[in-house]
Amino acid sequence: MGRARCRIAATAASLCLLALAPAACTGGGAGHAPQPTTSGGGEIVVASGLDVTGTDGVRQQLIQQWNSTPEGKQHPARLVELPGSADQQRSQLLGALQSGSSAYDVVNLDVTWVPEFAQAGLISPLDRRPELDDADVIPSVAATARWKGHTYAAPFNSDVGLLYYRVDSLKDVGIDPSAYPRAGTTWTQLQSLIRAVGEAPASDRPRGYQAGWTSQLDAYEGLTVNAVEAFESKGVRLADADGRYTATAAGLRTGLAELKTRAGNDYTLPAALSSREAQSLSDFAAGRTDFLRHWPYAYGALFQTLDASLLAVAPLPGKAVLGGQDLAVSAGSPRARYALDLIAYLTRAESERCLLDAGFAATRKSAYTDPAVRCRLAPAAGPSVPTETHDMPRDPDGRPSYAAPILLPALTNAVQRPRTPYYGAFTQLLQSRLHDWLSNPDLTDPDQLADSLDTALAKILKGK
């Protein structure tokens, strides 16, 4: 009890000291990075996290394709995949860029990091290249690359929460899976559906079935995403477009109650509280649960173990959080001009179509809707679709079959996590407090938690 209360009383300043990244409480700086005009020679180095499409994945293939073009032969690029978790990758990038190192010319930033890197002057403004932010980019996605009225990055691949479910389980209880769940389904309706499926005779359940649904509720970014989705679904917005705190204690109580119905109910897989992306995906594929909240890349991954007749995907009820990565030019790059040309190439419509075909969520509308936009990777780059996703159902134009009817609307309607240079401190606070509460609900009064969160979040989003 004492330790739980101490954590609830922790200040924003102490959280900054305890953060994983050495610069977790950054956010200072005027944001006046130079325009990307330097034109030195040498290899363009792109730093990125792991490519979920596999070894020699589509990102690597696109860079190989650039290297086969006339411009790429003059200014070749190399992809460096950073090890570790997202927090560790952010820490590595911050350390490198803050030191003035020219090791990386292009950085592939999580969408939540753009304000922090821009505010600190670590990435260059890209306003002089309007094709990176034109009308073809999905508006909600385009907004992730902007900060304080300027464009600092180009959306590369997007992400959004989706609902995956077992078709056979719905049929067993007399529910038509082609009609329900669907766009407009509420979380309350989904809860009823999960319970109905869970009450089916044991003989109809997959071997090893344990509970109705699962998500990513370990004490990491996945829990922040689930919390923001719960809060936003109840109309509780934590910050405005400039990162200023906008919630209230009363609103937080409403959001916490909604999160509890999702994460702390009898139909939630017990392992969800220690699950991240890989574990929740494995639990669903193994039949331990019938419903799963996950990202678009799961669509291709799940079809490696489940027949197309068993699996379906629908919009996530309520609000879904936008994820993804944006490409930015390092402020210290000696090859910034050519790095910017590379970014334009990697985010053009044809490249986005390649990302979509491989299992990512594309950032351009034309990749979903224009039959003339095709993926034409150079022969040296290998097949246009990695073997990890070759079994996913596709439409007549070769796109993943759910892309246009489900994924594109989900991206269009998605909400963002708070846009703030202090995001690192914000998410660590939320993860820590919420995981403690969900793991030991009897030790923490939700009203007290809401009050303490209200105070702490207001301080953190002011940079205090």
Omega cis (within 30) before 334? no
- 291 near 213, Cβ under 8 Å? yes
Rounded-to-integer distance, Cα 28 and Cα 119, Å: 6
14 Cβ contact partners less than 8 Å away, ≥ 6 residues apart: none
Rounded-to-integer distance, Cα 206 and Cα 204, Å: 7
- 450 near 233, Cβ under 8 Å? no
Q: Which residue has the tokens 């019938």?
A: 290
Q: What value, to the nearest 5°, has the Cα angle with vertex 249 and ends 248 and 250?
A: 90
Structural element, H or E, at residue 197: helix 187-198
Concatenated DSSP letters of 282-312: HHHHTTS-SEEEE-THHHHHHTTTS-TTTEE
347 closest CA partner among 142, 147, 150, 149:
142
Rounded-to-integer distance, Cα 62 and Cα 55, Å: 13
247 Cβ contact partners less than 8 Å away, ≥ 6 residues apart: 231, 236, 237, 238, 239, 255, 454, 457
- What is the pLDDT, as a whole number, of residue 215? 98
Q: Which amino acid is at 383?
A: P
Largest CA distance in the chain: 68
Q: Helices 336-346 and 58-67 sit at what angle, rounded to 10 degrees?
A: 120
Burial 136-169 (b: 16+ CB within 10 A, else e): bbbebbbbbbbbeeebbbbbbbbbbbbbbbbbbb
- 257 near 431, Cβ under 8 Å? no
Each residue's pLDDT tens digit in the chain (464 positions)?
343 433 333 333 333 333 333 344 455 555 678 889 999 999 999 999 989 887 789 999 999 999 999 999 999 999 999 998 888 999 999 999 999 888 999 999 999 999 999 999 999 999 999 999 999 999 999 999 999 999 999 999 999 999 999 998 888 888 888 888 888 899 999 999 998 888 878 776 767 889 999 999 999 999 999 999 999 999 999 999 999 999 999 999 999 999 999 998 889 999 999 999 999 999 999 999 999 999 999 999 999 889 888 999 999 999 999 999 999 999 999 999 999 999 999 999 999 999 999 999 999 999 999 999 999 985 433 334 443 434 789 999 999 999 999 999 999 999 999 999 999 999 999 999 999 999 998 888 999 999 999 999 999 999 87
From the CB of residue 92, how many other CB atoms can be counted at a distance below 10 Å? 16
- What is the pLDDT, as a whole number, of residue 387? 39
- 333 near 102, Cβ under 8 Å? yes
